[in-house]
Structure 1
């Protein structure tokens, strides 16, 4: 991963699992993984369906990230509209102000 904390934790987990520790126990020791991910990993190890459980964990967190991105985008839309409104308004004023000033000089 690009995150040094997770990379180091994954390296420690890899070493622990290769020495015989359960994956969920090693994940719990690292103290950086969400509780739900550790619990689903434990269920997967006990039931023999670790790959399915890890897939469910990945799908859940992908959905959470997608929801967060959608919410952030929805929050940013009004701000973007306001900035565009100020820019367009500034351009209109910059175009018409010289015309109005010439009308006052002539009149």
Structure 2
């Protein structure tokens, strides 16, 4: 490749443009919504967000931080705007005197098991302990999902690298073979 620097510049500018585009609120929301709908990736992103939400909120409640302030802090730890909106709805609902579980269920972002466990935690007065259990469960699920993805990705990487090496070998030997044909044709 003669103009390798141009290829490098195009890749660099594409990355920079993507970062700037992602700062636009509407684009970011659309991107986050799309990511949540991707079959394997969306499930993993949701599990990571739920684990982070539960761990952070549980830790803050255990430390004695008021629930509304804890929800504001927890919202800032979540990178997906769709899930942040769900936490915002919970915050607004609690401000009006509702429970945590009801608005979580309405958002349809959090899995039913999480909503049920939080509901039980609220009813028994052990919300912080229940949030920590949710975080532990989802941390384990995230770890298992990542291991499964890596297990599936390994053969794909091997096939890709094999194809790349095969392409390089063919591109190196093809000129030699054509040169041999030209010499024998003389």
Query: Aligned Cα RMSD in Å?
Result: 2.1
**Distance in 2 (alpha carbons) for counterparts of 1:29 and 1:106:** 77
Q: Which runs of 4+ in 1 moved over 6 A?
A: none
The Cα offsets for residues 45-97 of structure 1, whole Å up to 9 and x where unpaired, read as 12222111111112212222222222222112112111111111222233334
- The answer as to 2:128 corresponding to 1:31 is no
CA distance in 2 between counterparts of 1:27 and 1:81 reads 42
Q: Equivalent of 2:147, from 59, 70, 73?
A: 70
User: Residues 88 and 30 (structure 1 numbering): CA distance in 2 closer, same or farther, change over 3 Å?
Assistant: closer
What whole-Å deviation, never above 9, does each CA across 1:29-57 have from its counterpart, x for those lacking one?
A: 33332111111111211222211111111
Task: Report the equivalent of 2:73.
Answer: none
Is there any run of 5+ residues in structure 1 with no aligned partner, and where?
none
Structure 2, unpaired ranges of 5+ = 1-77
How far 1:100 sits from its partner (Å)? Answer: 4.2
CA distance in 1, matches of 2:122, 2:183: 87
**TM-score (norm. length: structure 2):** 0.50
